[in-house]
Structure 1
Amino acid sequence: RRGSHAAKHVGTAMGGGQRFPQNLAHSIRNLAVFAGLFGLKSLQRISGWTNLLFMVFAPDLHEYYRATYAALCDWDRLQSRAKHIKRNFPERFSVFTTATYNFGPVTITLPHIDFGNLAWGWCAITALGNFDPDRGGHLVLWDLKLIIRFPPGSTILLPSVILRHSNLKIGPNERRFSFTQFTPAGIFRWVYNDFRTDKDVNSSKNTTPQEHERRKRDRESRWREGIKMYRRW
């Protein structure tokens, strides 16, 4: 847990023993609530603005997220079983597979890193609520020794795997919520593996020695190639 507040993850995930990516399970009641939230014009505008920022400041990384999600959806449509992938937003609003609603009503996160995300990837954090941003709710980036004023309605994109982050307390009668978007690293691995898990690839008799060697080279260069996606233009 990131703090004592209520929170729910929504969208497509991969990890924790899953055999393939699929949408997180929720009760029918909660699914109806989430559908209503994702249908809000205000939330769609927030996500669309976030998507535009991502596209402008890290176009290569944005394209990597977009292409990975698109490939995953194409794979899912070809399966004979019931479809398991449902986007939170239309593609024009978001390239992230997963979102978290931090319902608060006092969302104060503890210092943490999101180790389940792509190592060089970005996640989007949007602050919501009614609080005095001059007195609390600041975003803290511990490794950079930065405390950033982060008023309601603000959005930041950051590499949440490598930057430890949290936020400061707010006043006793104030409310703070947040909305985050991200894509788990397991989804990138699944698509890279031609829609298989690492375990399936490594144990398959059809995986040639040449393929094992190529995968080893890819692992050794993945971080270096990943941060090249940070170019702006």
Structure 2
Amino acid sequence: MKSFSNAAFAFYAPKLYHYYCETLQKLYDHHPNLGPPFYGSIWPSESGSGDAACLSALHNDHNNLAFGWCAIQPVGDFDNTTGGHLILQQFGIVAEFPAGTACLLPSAVIKHGNTPLLQAEQTRKSLVSYAAGGLFRWVEYGFRTWKQFAAAEPVRSKQVWAQRRRERPKFALSLFSKVEELVHDHRHVFGL
């Protein structure tokens, strides 16, 4: 399932996927004791639900890369027509979410959760793949925290902060592809 969500990420957001690849490769090159933890997945982190019902209250994942995508994949033995529905609050969407499917979303900005299961004998768990925003900032700040960067380079750090505030939203939006751009973006990013 990791390979499926990874391929979907690469297909629907090739520029964002490429940004992950480039940034995380820099991280792995700088810290050779680190490497991709999951075969077939660009995401460096994964978590799973602990209980059989896997009820997730509405929430944002504030520590994830703000414009990054995560993959949510339900697993288990449950009737997806009666419970376990995916909720995307800002869009007013409550959708059936069968086991084995995947949802890709920028979980830091879209409030999401799921409905409870209605039958006690059913089980539903979730696998969530994601990337913490701190990893990207660590690379961007020269493999150090913001505090270390600001102390070592006070003038440059102020310039970087001002530039981020001005340009980060535009940069983030530039990593998303419109449907009519996907063929071009695949060719450009993957050399197809």
Aligned residue pair count: 178
User: Which of the residues 156, 176, 193 maps onto 2:124?
Assistant: 176
Distance 2:70 2:50 in 1: 18
Task: Give the alignment of 1:139-158 within 5 angstroms.
Answer: 139-158=86-105
Change (3 A) 1:202 1:210: closer
Q: Hey, what does 1:192 align to over in structure 2?
A: 140
Q: Could you state the TM-score of these two structures normalised by the residue count of structure 2?
A: 0.88
Q: How far did 1:196 drift?
A: 1.0
User: Which of the residues 13, 16, 19 maps onto 1:58?
Assistant: 13
Corresponding letter in the other structure for 1:199:
K
Q: Which runs of 5+ in 1 are unaligned?
A: 1-45, 78-82
Distance 2:66 2:166 in 1: 13
Percent of aligned positions that are identical: 29
Corresponding letter in the other structure for 1:160:
S
CA RMSD of aligned residues (A): 1.4
1:104 aligned counterpart, secondary structure: coil
2:128 aligned counterpart, secondary structure: strand
Q: Hey, what does 1:88 align to over in structure 2?
A: 37
1:125 aligned counterpart, secondary structure: strand
More helix as a share of residues:
2
Corresponding letter in the other structure for 1:180:
V
Distance 2:164 2:139 in 1: 14
User: Which of the residues 54, 63, 79 maps onto 1:132?
Assistant: 79
Kept after mapping to 2: 8 A contact 1:69/1:96: no
Distance 1:183 1:201 in 2: 22
4+ residue segments displaced more than 4 Å:
none
User: Which of the residues 97, 104, 117 maps onto 2:51?
Assistant: 104
Once the two structures are superposed, residues 108-138 of structure 1 have per-residue CA deviations (whole angstroms, 9 ceiling, x without a partner) of 1011000001111110000000000111110
Distance 2:159 2:5 in 1: 38
Distance 1:183 1:74 in 2: 17
Q: How far did 1:86 drift?
A: 4.2
Corresponding letter in the other structure for 1:87:
P
Distance 1:125 1:210 in 2: 38
Distance 2:97 2:167 in 1: 35
Kept after mapping to 2: 8 A contact 1:121/1:159: yes
